[in-house]
Amino acid sequence: MLQYIYCMQFQVPQFIEIEDKVFGPFSFKQFIYIIGSVGVAFILYVYLPTFIALVPMILVVSLGFSLAFYKINNRPFVFILQSMIKYYINRKLYLWKKAPPAISQTVTNQSNTPTPIPKLTKSRLEDLAWSLNVKDKLE
């Protein structure tokens, strides 16, 4: 008796990272962001005087277009905005870890007696820098 193996064929999606264009050249999200921001700008225009509504209208429309099109490091702006809001809302826990006390630096010579290393102060460092300046000594 022969057994047949039936192979089923499936289609594998190719471009899963690209959103479908639903409304002309815009995806559904882009369309909602643009229409929503233009709608809010229109409401501001209707209910506020023009010279007062102009700045909020520009801000709302620019936010809508940035949500629709602007990407930072290949990530949509909505994720950046969401991370920013979470950062400002959530509590922050700052931990301070006290450093252990500095061990005194000593050098042992041939007779195994410790010799302390002199501390380097700013004036001593400047003196060393002047003494190492070879160009001034050659001229």
| Domain span at 84 | 21-89
The torsion region of residue 26 among left (phi > 0), alpha (psi -120 to 50) and beta comes to beta
Total tally of structural domains belonging to the chain: 1
Q: Is residue 58 part of a domain?
A: yes
70 within some domain: yes
DSSP 7: P
Chain-centre distance for alpha carbon 54 = 31
Give pLDDT tens digits for 4-55. 666 677 787 777 777 777 777 888 889 999 999 999 999 999 999 989 999 9
Rounded to two decimals, the pTM is 0.54
In-domain check, residue 133: no
Evaluate whether residue 129 is within a structural domain.
Answer: no
